[in-house]
Amino acid sequence: MTIHAQRRAALARQLGPGGIAIIPTAPERPRNRDSDFPYRHDSYFYYLTGFTEPHACLVLDGAGGSTLFCQPKDLEREIWDGYRLGPEAAVAALGVDTALPSGELEARLPALLENRACVWFPFATHEGLAARVEGWLAKVRARVRFGALCPQQQGDLCLLLDEMRLVKDAHEIGLMREAGAISARAHLRAMRRSARMLAAGEDVREYHLEAELLHEFRQSGAQAPAYGSIVAAGANACVLHYRADRAPVRAGELVLIDAACELDGYASDITRTFPANGRFTGPQRDLYDVVLASQEAAIAATRPGARFTDPHDAAVAVLAQGLLDLGILDRSQHASAADVVATRAYFPFYMHRTGHWIGMDVHDCGSYVEPGEQGQASERRDALSGETIIDRPSRILRPGMALTIEPGLYVRPTPGVPEAFHGLGIRIEDDAVVTEDGCELLTRGVPVAADAIEAVMREEAEAA
């Protein structure tokens, strides 16, 4: 049995005997006129089939029966758009019971839904799917007078698939390890290019560094960046969703790069912050070492049995102390790091979470609440926004769960904050898989300690 057939069987067991599931792949998306955005399959569909062609849909029943709708062979279309597997070859290639041309989907779906108790489909990820399901069910209802039974229940397939996808198997971890290694090499290339060009007195731009990333991704066989690459020179690093653009990369400033590849459907996600010319200034190094220490604390808290929020809490405690030690927060106004945490005084400098699930999607699916404990809700008023927040027990980490660990500090020019820190934005991000006794970092092929970054860049500058 292939890994995809095993996943289909595992899902079928959860659909119940009268259940049937519909999982379409992603649509093609027009960019302008007759040009499309690069095609990316749907992650749920790919998880169950390993099939990357557009215009495909999997139908799976509770007894394990599977029907794939896919593009038919068509010589003319294949001359223009490329090879199609076609339904005839799909049965053997993908291990499905039946494969039919995608053009038959509309006509066949109502019959497949007939006499089923529950129809499952992803509720929130496929625009227009709920309306299409309604249309198919309307056709089943029209046959009730001929004895057909119409499914009375609808279930959100995401709930089942998200739980399956949350715990990665060995095949997935292997791919994520490889994606992480490629992305780490890409970051190294960008660091080296920055040092080399500045040592040679050249005009370095953010796009020069982005070019190094893209080169390494494709050179290594990765299909695409897993998300829009952030290459932020100087104060641009304080814009969390800044994109690689054309700003000059100057000696004496930091560069924040948050970029990583997708390999065979699996994402990686790395951030490194380094001095453009390879030498940290004193204040840069001080702030960097606080962020690195916070990441180390978060990594130590990433282990089975811990809660998803534990790494975040560990990171925030270290950042809060660092903000006081560096005088970015005023000791006369904040009694202790615990006080900084309780009042969320760190928030103007650290406004995002310390991590997220990662897998096929860079921000991968999976509930952040522990399923067996979601009823244990408690309410609190947020210290800053005044919003009422409902806290539910956070997810308990288990081996095979994959998450990023990405603390940062972003110091916009702020009255009362020492000017030496103004405009510094630092984030350090690695990808971790929870193991039996801790976690494995998948992205440490690129150095993270300040001395190690300086050593790599010095070597490159000296060779220039």
Residue 276 identity (one-letter amino acid):
A
DSSP string for 112-180: HHTT-SEEEE-SSSSTTHHHHHHHHHHHHHTTGGGT-----EEEEHHHHHHHHHHB--HHHHHHHHHHH
C-alpha atoms less than 13 angstroms from C-alpha of 403 in its C-beta half-sphere: 35
Query: Considering 258, 264, 310, 454, which one is annotated as catalytic?
Result: 258
Is-catalytic flag, 406? yes
Do β-strands 439-441 and 430-434 pair in parallel, antiparallel, or remain unpaired?
Answer: antiparallel
- Judged by beta carbon, residue 225 or residue 447, the one nearer ligand GLY is 225
- Residue 424-443 contact track with Mn ion, rule CB under 5 A, x = bound: -----x--------------
Query: Considering 242, 288, 346, 410, which one is annotated as catalytic?
Result: 410
Query: Considering 42, 212, 264, 406, which one is annotated as catalytic?
Result: 406
The answer to whether the CB of 206 falls within 8 A of the CB of 244 is: yes
Looking at residues 257 to 316 of the shown chain, list those that interact with Mn ion (rule: CB under 5 A): 258, 269
- Residue 150-169 contact track with ligand GLY, rule CB under 6 A, x = bound: --------------------
CB burial string 70-79: b at 16+ within 10 A, e below: bbbeeeeeee
The answer to whether the CB of 118 falls within 8 A of the CB of 16 is: yes
For the bound state, the minimum distance from the C-beta of residue 210 to Mn ion, rounded and expressed in Å, comes to: 14
- Judged by beta carbon, residue 294 or residue 404, the one nearer Mn ion is 404
Is-catalytic flag, 76? no
Does 288 bind ligand GLY (CB under 6 A)? Our answer is: no
Does 404 bind Mn ion (CB under 5 A)? Our answer is: yes
Residue among 321, 16, 26, 262 at smallest CA distance from 160 = 16
Is-catalytic flag, 4? no
266-267 sheet: strands from edge to edge: 224-225, 261-263, 266-267
- Judged by beta carbon, residue 145 or residue 241, the one nearer ligand GLY is 241
For the bound state, the minimum distance from the C-beta of residue 355 to ligand GLY, rounded and expressed in Å, comes to: 8
Selected from 114, 206, 269, 430, the binder of ligand GLY by CB under 6 A is 269
Is-catalytic flag, 429? yes
Is-catalytic flag, 203? no
Does 406 bind ligand GLY (CB under 6 A)? Our answer is: yes
Round to whole Å and give the CA distance between 359 and 43.
10
φ, ψ (nearest 5 deg) of residue 310: -60, -45
DSSP string for 27-48: PP-EEETTEEPPP---HHHHHH
- Judged by beta carbon, residue 262 or residue 460, the one nearer ligand GLY is 262
Question: 227 is in the binding site of which of ligand GLY, Mn ion, none (Cβ under 5 to 8 A by kind)?
Answer: ligand GLY
- Judged by beta carbon, residue 210 or residue 258, the one nearer ligand GLY is 258
Point out which residues bind Mn ion (CB under 5 A).
258, 269, 404, 429
Point out which residues bind ligand GLY (CB under 6 A).
227, 258, 269, 356, 362, 406, 429
